[in-house]
Amino acid sequence: MTVRHLVVVVPGIGGSVLERTRADGRPVRVWDAGVGGIGGLLLRPGRLSLAEEERLRPVGLITSKHLLPGWTVVHGYEGLVAGIGRSVPGARIDLGHPERPDPRADVLLFPYDFRRSIAEAADRLAAQIHLRLAGLSAAERRGRVVVVAHSMGGLVARYWMGVLGGWRVCRALVTLGTPHRGAPKALDWLVNGVRVGGLAMPGATGVIRGWPSVAELLPRYPMVRHESDGGIRYPHELPIGGLRRGARRAFALHRQIEEAWEAMPRSGPEMRARFSWSHPTPTAGHWDGTRLRVTRERPAWLVPPGWQDDLGDGTVPATSALPIEDSGRDTSAMRTRERHGPLAAAEWVGPLIAGYLRRDSLARLRGDERPVSLGLEVDEAHLPGAPVPVRATVHGRSGEAASLAPAAPVWALARPDADPTAEPVAVPLEWDADTGAFRGELPALEPGLHTVTVTARDVPGAGDLSVGETVAVVDDGAEAAAEEGGA
């Protein structure tokens, strides 16, 4: 029996479970985005080093709300898969384990070694899809595949569709918070390193700098202002020796993707990007000749006309989540309010995929209709014993919310993920007229993962608003790792 359609789920960076094989043949889990994985990256970074572990085996997608230190929380993908399952009743799901493939699956979960190049992951994706379509004629393959991809996974899918010719079998690609034009946060990682609670983590920084994938997330547009002459530079134009080579290769890879998509026929697959607009996001770089600062400021020289109200999802700026070929297109149906991680589990994804499988017209797909939204700023990793600063902003398209924000009572709540029934820690956030934001600090949290939720009640024109994120509090060993240089 062959399937009529194949839905492929491609996760973002940190979204795949990775294993290595011991000398006795037994598998050892190296990364699953749990507390142990986070601590391992900070305290024993060699486990994920390409120099020490050149090959790790991807065996599935992560299933919990966890993070890669220094990057916005990587949420699990069980919500996305469940949503697709509800919208495609009776679907068979291949969980992506290399030893247990299901050639008859309707849904394929595609894990990959996210440390390595996007092009390498795309080669594996091509092989997996070819395996599922083997035995079908060219006519039967045409339009059979629908891909939904989160974050960096969208770049993997774009490379497969464009450079490797996957467009010939693909009906549509849906990207969720994909840094089509790159993410300034990756530049901050590579130049300034991983930090937890203000402490540098040189061991983890060294490992991440060795991942080709991180360089491939660098912005492919000029976003760094040189303070001496006012010129705007691409990342690969900065005079930073350890950055230039990888940045140039990454820029070439992005150009390769763009050129391949330009060559695709207009009648090819449909491209649908979804991005968030209301969360302050690292956007601009400033270089003074010796030091790089990556900030959430949105200077006029970097904001395209018509995008003044669009910030991002906390990780990827809104403008970066729009594919190059969609420049100038109406984006009203593309906006949503989720942060970067929760984008992967948004309720609208399943019905959207079902519409593609029915080959319905999706011109009626609607974006964020609320003119007011709540933005959240909270670091993803913290040390025990230190308070957790939280900042929230009420945003309105065309500026409606600025005068309404002080009227909304805003609270921050923290609850340990290990016990969702626990009484949350709650603190009121105070209005700061100087910054136009609500600010406050949660008290020091116990080591582990915590869900931080900010709520605003009775916001004029919007009612109740809420936004959440998962943060990690690492144990005291992280501080020791910082002091010892990551040994």
Q: How confident is the model at residue 400, as a pLDDT?
A: 52
Q: Are residues 340 and 378 in the same domain?
A: no
pLDDT of residue 44: 66
CATH number at residue 348: 3.40.50
pLDDT for residue 350:
81
Distance CA 390, CA 407 (A): 19
- Say if residues 95 and 109 touch (Cβ distance below 8 Å): yes
Backbone angles phi, psi at 344, to 5 degrees: -70, -15
Half-sphere exposure of 314 (CA within 13 A, CB side): 27
Confidence of residue 486 (pLDDT cuts 50, 70, 90): very low
Q: Indicate if 362 and 378 belong to the same structural domain.
A: no
Domain CATH code at residue 425: 2.60.40.1930
pLDDT score for 39: 53
Distance of CA 297 to the CA centre of its chain: 20
Q: φ, ψ for residue 349 (rounded to 5)? A: -65, -45
Residue 117 token pair = 């190049």
* pLDDT band with cut points at 50, 70 and 90 for residue 6: very high
Residue 445's domain comprises 372-483
Above 80 in pLDDT, residue 142? yes
- Indicate whether 173 pLDDT > 80: yes
From 334, 369, 404, give the residue that closes a domain: 369
Structurally, the chain folds into a number of domains equal to 2
Put residue 109 in one of left, alpha, beta given phi > 0 → left and psi -120 to 50 → alpha.
beta
286/397 same-domain check: no
| pLDDT (tens digit per residue) in 354-384 | 877 776 544 345 555 556 788 899 988 888 8
**Residue 485 — very low, low, confident or very high, per pLDDT cuts 50/70/90?**
very low
Mean pLDDT across 384-388: 90
Instruction: Output phi, psi for 298, to 5 deg.
Output: -125, 80
* Pair 383, 333 in one domain: no
Tell me, what's the pLDDT at 126?
98
Residue 143 tokens read as 């339009």
Across the chain, mean pLDDT equals: 85
Measured distance CA(74)–CA(322) in Å, rounded:
20
Tell me, yes or no, whether 358 and 422 share the same domain: no
Q: Are strands 93-94 and 107-109 parallel, antiparallel or unpaired?
A: parallel
Residue type, 453: T
Assess whether 463 and 415 both reside in one domain. Answer: yes
In this model, does residue 57 exceed pLDDT 70? yes
φ/ψ (deg, to 5) at 205: -60, -45
232 and 203: one domain?
A: yes
Looking at the structure, do residues 418 and 353 belong to the same domain, yes or no? no
pLDDT at 482 over 70: no
Specify whether 360 is located in the same domain as 424. no
Task: Give the range among 62-76, 147-161, 268-282, 388-402 with minimum mean pLDDT.
Answer: 62-76
Give tens-digit pLDDT for 297-343.
Answer: 999 999 988 888 899 999 999 999 999 988 888 887 888 888 898 88
Per-residue pLDDT band for 153 (boundaries 50, 70, 90) equals: very high
* pLDDT, tens only, 189-241: 999 998 887 778 888 889 999 999 999 999 999 999 999 899 999 999 999 98
**pLDDT on residue 66:** 44
- One domain for residues 71 and 209: yes
pLDDT above 70 for 29? yes
**The domain boundary residue, chosen from 349, 369, 389:** 369
**Which comes out higher in pLDDT, residue 336 or 37?**
336
- From 331, 346, 369, the end of a domain falls on 369
> Residue 13: how many CB atoms within 10 A of its CB?
25
In a shared domain, residues 220 and 364? yes
Both ends of the chain: CA-CA distance in Å? 54
Instruction: Please tell me whether residues 438 and 419 are part of one structural domain.
Output: yes
| Residue 283 pLDDT exceeds 90 | yes
Do residues 341 and 72 make contact, with C-beta atoms less than 8 angstroms apart?
yes
